[in-house]
Amino acid sequence: MLQADNVTYVHGTQPRRPKGAGAADVPASRPGVDDISVAVERGDVVGILGPNGSGKTTLLRLLSGLLLPASGSVTLGGARLSGIPRRSLARRLAVVPQETHLAFDYSVLEIALMGRYPHLGPFELESPHDLAIARDALVATGTGHLSARSFSTLSGGEKQRVVIASALAQEADILLLDEPTASLDLGFQLDVAALLRHLNRERGLTMVVATHDLNFAAALCRTLLLVKQGRVLAHGPVERVLTSENIAALYGVTADVHFHAPAGHLTVVPLGRVPASPGGQA
């Protein structure tokens, strides 16, 4: 189980993992997370929802070990992430970033093979076994036919599926995904959602997904964590947490939330901003 207990992080004041493990420094004025606790059970799909700057990505980076909390702890199987060597941690936990920027023009197969690095020793080259795992991961994400293509020539949806294939090649039990459908058109959004559902159902992968897309979260997740200004607003099963009242409190937006039988899950239709009160607060 991946678990955060009373985790607090304030940007600009806490240490990071060594350079190369995370993103560029963030100004101290941006909110972090404040006393958040969450337990991610094996096989669950947890969605982290919240407005811009609410702490979603920060929490995801804390859960991945890329950031170290000022207080509280993040543990995997009872062991603090800070005490697990990076190579060992990468065999158990894989991160799919919102965007992937590469310094060189790699092929799709080379991108998938990058997922094997945690399993290789110093100066060790990929074996036929590693190559087979990478090819299987591409097939599992529907990108096997693209293996010889340059990654830079792919569409946004194809790139996202290839990066997910690289994460699968790590053979980790947990996937952490940051905005996996951002900037994708509707068709590719559906493809990514279907792929993640399949991987959870058929491979038993545990997932934590930070997203702005409420309908994507409703279709994919079983548990939701709503985060506002770095604190937990609500946490629990999708059916209990994804309500009109919580959406209004989280985003300041009125919304119609109802079960859509053909889709098989709750759907959210935003209707407008919550009217401001006479005192100027929504």
Domains in the chain, CATH or no CATH each: 1-17+24-92+172-252 (3.40.50.300), 103-171 (no CATH)
What 3 state SS string does the chain have? Answer: CEEEEEEEECCCCCCECCCCCCCCCCCCCCCCEEEEEEEECCCCEEEEECCCCCCHHHHHHHHHCCECCCEEEEEECCEEHHHCCHHHHHCCEEEECCCCCCCCCCEHHHHHHHHHHHHCCCCCCCCHHHHHHHHHHHHHCCCHHHCCCEHHHCCHHHHHHHHHHHHHHCCCCEEEEECCCCCCCHHHHHHHHHHHHHHHHHHCCEEEEEECCHHHHHHHCCEEEEEECCEEEEEEEHHHHCCHHHHHHHHCEEEEEEEECCCCEEEEEEEEECCCCCCCCC
Indicate the pairing of strand 174-178 with strand 93-96: parallel
Higher pLDDT, 29 or 174: 174
Instruction: Provide the pLDDT for residue 23.
Output: 44
* Predicted pLDDT at 44: 97
pTM: 0.88
Q: Is the pLDDT reported for residue 190 higher than 80? A: yes
The pLDDT, as a whole number, for residue 276 is: 76
Assess whether pLDDT exceeds 70 at residue 26. no
**pLDDT at residue 20 tops 50:** no
Is 60 exceeded by the pLDDT of residue 69?
A: yes
Asked whether the predicted pLDDT for residue 14 surpasses 50, the reply is yes
Task: Provide the pLDDT for residue 182.
Answer: 86
Does position 220 have pLDDT exceeding 70, yes or no?
yes
